[in-house]
Amino acid sequence: MRVRVPRVLRCLAVWGVALAAVGGGTVPVAAADGGPEADLAYHGTASMAFGVVDVRFTPRNHGPSAVPDATVRLRWSQPLAFRQVLPDGCARSGLRVVLCRVGALAADGLGERVELGVRLRGAPSEVLLEVDTVWSGGVVDRNRANDRQRVLVLDTGDEYYF
């Protein structure tokens, strides 16, 4: 069965307004470019002791659409040591960058916690860690404020929250 959607509703869908019910189902919120919209966020802790940075965070999708797959970038202001042992799903991408697969995230859902430790070159007294989404499976995130985190981590062993 075909349902005719009035032109005004089709235009609203293109501009990111959710259509509550069309033909018995719901239509995901569409961003201006026509893709579904989600809101990714990363919150966790980072600590450093003797040049080793431990990072733990949980990805979250505030919705309204599910994310089929996502990848987060962790970038340090200091270069990483040449040899690293990274968890499954994480890979080095340059002198200061590690990419980690977050996986699928349901709308308004939590992902699996990501935990990794990296060794920095030398023994810096501080490092700036930047966390952001680099791939979201075609889903548009217009609220980039909560998926871009920056945290200054001092070599004290203390946990710094982001």
Domains, the chain, with CATH or none: 1-35 (no CATH), 40-161 (2.60.40.1510)
pLDDT at 76 over 90: yes
Q: What is the pLDDT of residues 113-140, one digit of tens each?
A: 999 999 999 989 999 999 999 999 999 9
Mean pLDDT across the chain: 83
- Integer Cα distance of 94 and 66 in angstroms: 30
Q: Which of 36-40, 101-105, 141-145 shows the lowest per-residue confidence on average (mean pLDDT)? A: 141-145
What one-character DSSP code corresponds to residue 8?
H
Q: Which of 4-18, 30-44, 115-129 shows the lowest per-residue confidence on average (mean pLDDT)? A: 4-18
pLDDT of 34: 60
pLDDT of 28: 41
pLDDT of 59: 97
Q: What average pLDDT does this structure show over 47-54?
A: 97
pLDDT at 9 over 70: no
